[in-house]
Amino acid sequence: MERTADPTQLALIVIDMINTYDHEDAELLLPSVRKVVPVLADLIGRARKTDVPVIYANDNFGRWRSHHGELVSTALDRPHADLIEPIRPDDESLFVVKARHSVFYETPLTYLLSRLGTEQVVLTGQVTEQCVLYSALDAHIRHLGVTVPRDAVASIHPHLASAALEMMQRNMGARITTAKEIDFDHPDTGAPASPQNGSAHTQAG
């Protein structure tokens, strides 16, 4: 993998969307996912057209011997393949397998982003109040700018998702926006909120 490092480069991170939806929260999660998929599919398509790295960071579902191709195949073989097909990885996509909530915890993502020259990440996927929230915190403490398009993240509990988005904005300096507002041709549109606000709340917390 060789890409020209660009210090203003964005990376689009798709969290846990390669999913079998056979877990205990699936019934509550699925309505939100169905709204997110077309929005996310468009966002992924625009990122690919502008050569913005698309990184899938996905749970391994406890399948420790599986590689990412098997995870995709398994999800496509389940009843909700219609939620996978529009956003499935292509040959240029990057893939990180994770085992915990944060996309950074015990994964090579930090190193990968440094090799890509990435300073700003766009976090999408599921679940807003869980993996997206924890990933935003870990991105923030790694001095990465964070953007979260509220219509490209799925939630189990809407009220907790709203609180999570507010926490990301206030405590982590994240830019909370919509997918349409993200312009991959002008990476500065993914800049985080005022660092003063983010650092002040972080110090207080």
Q: Which residues contact 126 (CB under 8 A, 6 or more apart)?
A: 15, 16, 17, 19, 29, 32, 33, 36, 132, 153, 154, 155
Higher-confidence residue of 56 and 24: namely: 56
Identify whether 124 is part of a domain: yes
**CATH number for 57:** 3.40.50.850
**% of the chain residues with pLDDT over 70:** 82
Identify whether 108 is part of a domain: yes
Average pLDDT, the chain: 86
**pLDDT value at residue 65:** 47
pLDDT at 193 over 70: no
Predicted structure pTM score: 0.86
pLDDT digits (tens, 9 = 90+) for 108-161: 999 999 999 999 999 999 999 999 999 999 999 999 999 999 999 999 999 999
When pLDDT is averaged across residues 155-183 and rounded to a whole number, the result is 97
* pLDDT band (50, 70, 90) for residue 78: confident
Identify whether 72 is part of a domain: yes
pLDDT at 204 over 50: no
When pLDDT is averaged across residues 190-205 and rounded to a whole number, the result is 41
* pLDDT band (50, 70, 90) for residue 190: very low
For residue 33, what are its two tokens?
């996912």
**pLDDT value at residue 197:** 43
Identify whether 2 is part of a domain: no
When pLDDT is averaged across residues 56-67 and rounded to a whole number, the result is 70
Identify whether 103 is part of a domain: yes
- Number of Cβ within a 10 Å radius of residue 95: 17
Residue 194's domain spans which residues?
A: 9-204
- How many domains are there within the chain? 1
Identify whether 91 is part of a domain: yes
pLDDT digits (tens, 9 = 90+) for 20-54: 898 889 999 999 999 999 999 999 999 999 999 99
**pLDDT value at residue 201:** 38
For residues 51 and 74, give the distance between their C-alpha atoms in angstroms, rounded to a whole number.
Answer: 28
Identify whether 73 is part of a domain: yes
Identify whether 79 is part of a domain: yes
Question: What is the H or E stretch that residue 141 is in?
Answer: helix 133-141
